[in-house]
Amino acid sequence: MIEGVKIKQIKRFSDDRGFFQEIVKEGEETFQEVKQTSYTETYPGVIKAFHWHKKQWDVWFVVRGMAQVVLHDMRENSVTFGQTQVIYSGENNPMVIAIPPYVAHGYRVLGNDKVGMFYHTSQAYNPDEPDEERISFDDPVIGFDWTTKNK
């Protein structure tokens, strides 16, 4: 696991009325101060990658579909510098993923359903000075192969 990335498996409490899940809660290691919450839906087969932030934490929760989340540590002083981590998150594996600054992140939609994701950020988006840098999904330095590996 990449140093500083925090993952919380989500517990589901079910009864005859439905279910309840706690997602983000102050005091847990995945919690970051939230200054903005956004929601996105992404179509099957789409890759949204990579981007990273200098100051901002992202806290992701996939509520619909399944995503292959890919993280790459760009922090030169980190013990996991240059390492890539893959996480499968979504309806079938609910979790919160807290992504620190200088960790590039992106995802690919798996299966035939859209991915719906909430993301909480520790900074509000400022279009005049965005804290967001982009890297191509096929960047040779990261070198991630997004194809499904049949086994």
Angstrom distance (rounded) from CA 39 to CA 60: 10
9, 68, 104, 114 from 58: Cα distances, Å: 17, 16, 11, 21
51 is catalytic: yes
Return the beta strands (E) in 26-93 as ranges. 36-42, 47-52, 58-64, 66-73, 84-90
Angstrom distance (rounded) from CA 47 to CA 11: 28
Please give the structure tokens belonging to residue 129: 């000075």
88 is catalytic: no
Of 39, 51, 88, 105, the active-site residue reads: 51
Catalytic sites, residue numbers: 51, 119
